[in-house]
Structure 1
Amino acid sequence: MKKYWLIALVMLLSIAFGSTVHADDKEMYVDVSVATLWSEPDQARELDAPSLGNPVDMWGWTESMTVDEKRWLVGELQTQALYGQKVTVLEEEGDWVKVAVDGQPTPKNELGYPAWMPKKQLSDEKLYSVLKERRPFALVTAPTADLYDHRNKKKEFKEISFNTRLPVVAQTGEMILVATPSDGMKWMNSEDVSIYKDKEDIPAPDGEDLEETAKQFLGLPYLWAGASGFGFDCSGFTHTIHKAHGITIPRDSSVQAENGTPVAKEDLQKGDLLFFAYDEGEGSVHHVGMYIGNGEMIHAPNSASTVEVIDVFESDYYSSEFSGARRYID
């Protein structure tokens, strides 16, 4: 065990002394499994406490809420950011900060999706930021994965989400040593991740790949603003499935519906995104799902449901509100 820490220490020091960090940088990194971002600071209820600390208890939070308590979150939450993900601080107000989440495109801010989160859930560890830029990364491909304090896996450190990306420091056998935003290095199972030198090395997916990835989450309860393996909303689901395959699409369904390549209904293929709008498909877009062939769609419907597959054009509700489709894969 000691030799791996020695290798890691030497690597960290060599990178650190070869890097330059500016004191006025406002970039920081998410320091909890999943950061849940709010429309305004200090709007959370007492029952939301498990999502506000450091660490967070995502299962304890989501599984404790009734359907009505989940519905209350509609409009109060904006999005989520994953462990180790970069954000840019835009404002500070007491114990809260407004950040822009890197990698979540939106017309709201060119730096990323803007919303509020507790300041305690961020880290500005400079060595981590350098490792993030210089090292290959482990991309979590399991719905969730465990980090461990030791290679023997006797002590679990943290459960992290699908699509989390952490710098790889070393690999031995079936275990990988990764860097964390503020807690040094931790171990994880190689079977839970794929390792890439950079994001351009992620293989381009086809529709079958997107379908297989999406179906891992069948039965996962919906969470408004969710963008993690602990719960998704409709556009968080399609955004994250594409993101895990190296394709960055807008965060919100209304913007997803305006980008990509338009696809006629008769030309639908697996992986195409289907959009639904008010006023029998003529109004504003309110929902998105992913086509998986044979008239079926996989989607995260609403706060009372889970990720599911439906015969989309056999449904009176969805067929009447279908407003078009877009393709984001070649």
Structure 2
Amino acid sequence: MNMASMYWKSACIALLSCASLESTAQVDSTLYKKLITLIESTREQMAPDKRLAVIEFSKTEVPTNSYILQTSDAIIKDTLTHRLAHLGADIQVVAFPTSTVAERPYGIVNLSVANLRTKPAHSAEMATQILLGARVDILDKDGGDFRVRTPEGYIAWVPTSSLVAVSAKELADWEKGDKLIFTNGFGESYSEPNTKSQRVSDLVYGDVLTLINQQGHYYKVSYPDKRIAYIPKDQAVVFGDWIASRDPSSENIISSAKSMLGLPYLWGGTSVKGVDCSGLTKTSFFMNGYIIPRDASQQVLHGEKIDILNEQGEFDATKALKNLKPADLLFFAGGKNKYPNARVTHVAIYIGEGIFIQSAGTVRINSMLPEAENYDDIQAKTIVAARRYLGSEDPAIQKISENKYYSKN
């Protein structure tokens, strides 16, 4: 059943339930069907990936032909307003942020790692993670959860307790301060410049805090919620110095990936506490100063295409060995043997000589070559594409220093 049909079915149910309450209302089912058709065509054109753009109803009153649509993009809002104007119904289109968060539409992550989910519920699927000190746009609020947009454009829900919500002025004040980035894999901050003092919080690679000053062998830092803590100097670097030192070479990308060997696979994970397949690639590039798309099915849409398939569209190991370079991304489709156009479901980083590193159960190194001891037959048989990010001018592969969410750090 396609999306339009699903909406149409929902409309019919709504018509039946509302009829008993407003039996005299004039229901124009043809108008509703036109409305859904226009929404779906706009979604297909401008918001095909719900992880990056949202079009949804916030109010639906079919009997009175009264609707409110909300979207994550101002251009989509203007387009929908124009396309729906001729329908003759009471249709309002609004863009995020909603009125519930308009006074403080920005958030700063206040935990070492915040978990983002597909729905505003603790039981919902984890979609991704975001690190301490990262800035997000707050789009909406539902109970104890904010809907947010991350620096790579990913839209998901996070508990309100994971962020500090701020106004534009408060954000500007926070951005003015010098920043420090934690560069150990794991660690802690302390209440005093002494590792035997009370822990303030745990920390992971990539966490960012405001630098207050230096005290002996420690940095004195401030959290987004104004907590004060101390971090050993050998575990952190001034953010600007860290950015300036990034060298996104193939050797460094692979070294960063190898630093996560043995980490557990975690669906939605993008931190050293656990990574999924695309979390490994995303984190490896982040460690080297780049922000890339979040999921494997998004990552395959970007970068330079590398030819690794034969004329029949099947993986060709000989061609792959010839054309692939270290740090290229390999993409896999788990349903490849059942469906000709199966969706990309997995990604790995190519090391060289047929070897790749992946997060599958754990972060591990495998080979695509059958004669190798670490041959992964399941993955090797589902390789469908390869992309080269290094050297690409694709705007989706962005330097952290040029990303608006980090550039003022």
- Band the TM-score falls in, shorter-chain normalisation: 0.7 to 0.9
Is 1:115 paired with 2:156?
Answer: yes
Question: Structure 1 pair 252/164, CA: closer, same or farther in 2 (3 Å)?
Answer: same
Whole-Å separation in 2 of the counterparts to 1:326 and 1:125:
38
Match of 2:9 in 1: none
CA shift, 1:196, in A, is: 3.1
CA shift, 1:172, in A, is: 4.2
Unaligned runs of 5+ in 1: 1-22, 45-72, 105-111
Is 1:279 paired with 2:336?
Answer: yes
CA contact (8 A) 1:131 1:167 kept: no
Q: Which of the residues 161, 177, 196 maps onto 2:204?
A: 161
Identity of aligned residues (%): 31
CA shift, 1:202, in A, is: 4.4
Match of 2:235 in 1: 192
Give the 3-state SS of the residue equivalent to 2:282 in structure 1: helix
Q: How does 1:1-330 map to 2 (within 5 A)?
A: 24-44=103-123, 76-101=125-150, 103-104=151-152, 112-124=153-165, 129-130=171-172, 132-153=174-195, 154-197=197-240, 201-264=244-307, 265=320, 266-277=322-333, 278-280=335-337, 282-301=341-360, 305-314=361-370, 315-330=376-391
CA contact (8 A) 1:274 1:324 kept: yes
Whole-Å separation in 1 of the counterparts to 2:304 and 2:115:
31
Match of 1:61 in 2: none
Q: How far does the alpha carbon of each residue in 1:241-279 deviate from its partner, in whole angstroms, 9 at most, with x for none?
A: 101211111001111111112223222222111111131
Return the letter of the residue paired with 1:279: K
CA contact (8 A) 1:257 1:325 kept: yes
Aligned length: 267
CA shift, 1:132, in A, is: 4.7
Question: Structure 1 pair 132/31, CA: closer, same or farther in 2 (3 Å)?
Answer: same
CA shift, 1:282, in A, is: 4.5
Give the 3-state SS of the residue equivalent to 2:290 in structure 1: coil
- TM-score between the two structures when normalised by the length of structure 1: 0.74
CA contact (8 A) 1:141 1:244 kept: no
Match of 1:66 in 2: none
Q: Which region of structure 1 is more displaced relative to structure 2, 268-277 or 190-199?
A: 190-199
CA shift, 1:309, in A, is: 0.8
Q: How far does the alpha carbon of each residue in 1:82-120 deviate from its partner, in whole angstroms, 9 at most, with x for none?
A: 11211111111111221112x22xxxxxxx211112112
Match of 1:17 in 2: none
Question: Structure 1 pair 199/283, CA: closer, same or farther in 2 (3 Å)?
Answer: farther
Whole-Å separation in 2 of the counterparts to 1:274 and 1:85:
28
Q: Which region of structure 1 is more displaced relative to structure 2, 124-133 or 191-200?
A: 124-133
Q: How far does the alpha carbon of each residue in 1:34-68 deviate from its partner, in whole angstroms, 9 at most, with x for none?
A: 11111112252xxxxxxxxxxxxxxxxxxxxxxxx
Whole-Å separation in 1 of the counterparts to 2:226 and 2:190:
11
CA contact (8 A) 2:105 2:166 kept: no
Whole-Å separation in 2 of the counterparts to 1:170 and 1:216:
30
Return the letter of the residue paired with 2:179: F
Give the 3-state SS of the residue equivalent to 1:99 in structure 2: strand
Question: Structure 1 pair 231/209, CA: closer, same or farther in 2 (3 Å)?
Answer: same
CA shift, 1:307, in A, is: 0.8
Whole-Å separation in 1 of the counterparts to 2:216 and 2:367:
44
Whole-Å separation in 2 of the counterparts to 1:186 and 1:141:
16
CA shift, 1:294, in A, is: 2.5
Return the letter of the residue paired with 1:274: L
Unaligned runs of 5+ in 2: 1-101, 308-319, 371-375, 392-409
Whole-Å separation in 2 of the counterparts to 1:166 and 1:243:
17
- TM-score between the two structures when normalised by the length of structure 2: 0.60
Whole-Å separation in 1 of the counterparts to 2:106 and 2:241:
20
RMSD (Å), alpha carbons: 2.3
